[in-house]
Amino acid sequence: MAPAHIRSAQPAQPVLVCQDVEKLYGTRSNVTRALDGVSFDVAAGEYIAIMGPSGSGKTTLLNCISTIDRPTSGHILVDGQDITALRPGQLSRFRRERLGFVFQDSNLLDTLTARENIALALTINHAPAKEVVARVTGVAERLGVADVLDKFPHEMSGGQKQRVAAARAIVTDPSLVLADEPTGALDSKNSRRLLESLEALNADGATIIMVTHDSFAASYARRALFLKDGRVWNEIVRGDKTRKAFFDEIMDVVSFLGGEGADVR
């Protein structure tokens, strides 16, 4: 007789699949191969750091995943849908419904309060008012910004703004949270606080891809992917290791690769 709970042997569909992604810039006489056949998968609930020296293709890769840029060839699938095939009219809806963004600078709208900034994505999607209130309050509490909800960006610290930006990124419950150097403009105390927040979001199930040149920031992820000259050069997994041990391992790769990110904190 069959046991009570049989789970499908079929592994869960990855949230993100990059298949042989190439991105060329420039003209025929002066081509930059920013991405040179990048392939990797991200499963639901993963937290990945994308690292690599300056010019290795990190931002280009993130821009291709976020549909800000389009690969020259190859495919990128999000929830099984090939986003390289989306028409311009479908792109904004895709971004709004599936993605959450955290940038180096919080990119909050100056004339809106934190509450209004966070609620904006929901309002655009015509969420019912009651749901907006509940969701905004929920994410603000998770990110420790409930006390600044009625403040304007200029009344908040850099760290508070970044946590509000993170709250805005996750309020729609996106398939993927994309962060490009989210701690880049923060001091070490606020960096730590933001990284702890992202770690907690991931523990609650959010799938996060963070581009960073900072080994300390990367050590909060569960997996680190290293780009070099537009290719995936190496990948290390945190597994059961402590964050400190993972940090040391990341540092070894970074110093081997050379370039930025070699500052120890």
How far is residue 117's CA from residue 159's CA, in Å, rounded to a whole number? 16
Q: In this structure, are residues 196 and 180 in contact, taking their beta carbons and an 8 Å threshold? A: no
For residues 33 to 72, the per-residue mask of contacts with ligand ADP, x marking binding by CB under 6 A and - elsewhere, is: -x-----------------x-xxxxxxx------------
Residues in the chain: 265
Cβ within 8 Å of residue 56, ≥6 positions away: 227, 228, 229, 230
In angstroms, what is the minimal distance from the CB of 67 to ligand ADP?
Answer: 15
Please tell me the count of residues contacting Mg ion according to CB under 5 A.
2
166-180 core/surface letters (b: 16 or more CB in 10 A; e: else) = bbbbbbbebbbbbbb
Residue 258 binds ligand ADP (CB under 6 A): no
Quick one: tokens of 174?
């996106």
How far is residue 251's CA from residue 242's CA, in Å, rounded to a whole number? 14
Nearest to 252 by CA among 239, 242, 262: 262
32, 90, 107, 123: which one binds ligand ADP (CB under 6 A): 32
Q: In this structure, are residues 229 and 203 in contact, taking their beta carbons and an 8 Å threshold? A: no
In angstroms, what is the minimal distance from the CB of 13 to ligand ADP?
Answer: 28
Please tell me the count of residues contacting ligand ADP according to CB under 6 A.
12
Query: Which residue's CB is nearer to ligand ADP, number 60 or number 207?
Result: 60
How far is residue 225's CA from residue 211's CA, in Å, rounded to a whole number? 10
Query: Which residue's CB is nearer to ligand ADP, number 10 or number 30?
Result: 30
Cα–Cα distances (Å) from 262 to 4, 18, 72, in that order, read: 52, 28, 32
Query: Which residue's CB is nearer to Mg ion, number 140 or number 179?
Result: 179
Query: Which residue number is nearest to Mg ion in terms of Cβ?
Result: 59
What 3 state SS string does 68-90 have?
CCCCCEEEEEECCEEHHHCCHHH
Residue 25 binds ligand ADP (CB under 6 A): yes
In angstroms, what is the minimal distance from the CB of 254 to Mg ion?
Answer: 15
- Name the 3-class secondary structure at 200: helix
Residue 59 binds Mg ion (CB under 5 A): yes
Residue 56 interacting entry, from Mg ion, ligand ADP, none, C-beta within 5 to 8 Å by type: ligand ADP
Query: Which residue's CB is nearer to ligand ADP, number 55 or number 144?
Result: 55
Residue 26 binds ligand ADP (CB under 6 A): yes
Query: Which residue's CB is nearer to ligand ADP, number 34 or number 118?
Result: 34
Query: Which residue's CB is nearer to Mg ion, number 63 or number 113?
Result: 63
Nearest to 194 by CA among 207, 205, 210, 174: 210
How far is residue 35's CA from residue 209's CA, in Å, rounded to a whole number? 17
In angstroms, what is the minimal distance from the CB of 59 to Mg ion?
Answer: 3
Residue 174 binds ligand ADP (CB under 6 A): no
Query: Which residue's CB is nearer to Mg ion, number 58 or number 95?
Result: 58
Summarize as ranges the residues that interact with ligand ADP (CB under 6 A).
25-26, 32, 34, 52, 54-60
Summarize as ranges the residues that interact with Mg ion (CB under 5 A).
58-59
